[in-house]
A = this chain, B = another copy of it.
C-alpha cells in the first residue's frame, strides 16, 4: 500500500532549527519536544541527533535563528534615530516570536553576542556624535536590556490581580492595575525609549560643555 512519502530534502541543522521555531511559535515552548519537532518533519525523534547535539543545543540554535533576523543598527543617520530604529526593530522581532522570549532568559547568552555584533555599526554613529567609546557601548547595552525587559513583560501578559484588588479591599491597587491595563504598550515602549535617549542626550551635552574649553579671553 502507500508508503510514507519520502522526504524530498534531507534533514539539516538549519531545517531542524526552523522546524523547532515553527513549533514554538505555533504551539508554545512546552510543546517543543524532540518528538514533536521530529514529527513535524516526518521523521523519528532520534534522527534529530544526527544534526543537533541535544535539546539544549536545539534551543540555543532557535535563539540564534531568531536573532539572525535582527537588522543591524544603521550608521547612516544620527545617533538618536539609529538607536531608536534599532530598538523598535528589536522589539518588533521579539513580538513576532513571543514564545521565544523566555529562552533569552535561560539560554547561555549566544544571543547577546549576536546583538552585540548587530549593534556595532550603531556604535560608530554614537562615537561620531561625541560619545566616548565606553559610553557608546554602555548606551547600546542599556537600550538592549531595556528592550528585552520590555519584551519580557509584554510576552508574559498582563499582571494577574492580587487578592487585595480582586476583593475590593484596596481600591487604590485596583485603580492602579486598571491604569496599567489601559495604557497602550506601544506608547509605553516609546515613553521609556525616549526617556533613555533624552538621558543620553543630556549626558552628551554635559560632557561636551565640560570638554569644550571656554573661549579664551582675547
Chain A residues at the B interface, C-beta cutoff of 8 Å: 29, 101-102, 104-114, 116-117, 120, 123, 133-135, 137-139, 141-142, 144-150, 152-153, 155-162, 164-165, 172-173, 176-177, 179-180, 183, 188, 191-192, 194-203
Contact = CB atoms under 8 A, between A and B. Distances in A.
A202 to B, nearest CB: 5
Contacts of A155: 105
Number of copies: 2
A199 B120 CA distance: 24
B172 A120 contact: yes
Contacts of A159: 109-113, 116
Contacts of A165: 113
Given A105-B104, A159-B113, A160-B109, A134 B183 contact: yes
B148 A152 contact: yes
Give the residue among A144, A191, A197 with the most B Cβ atoms within 10 A: A191
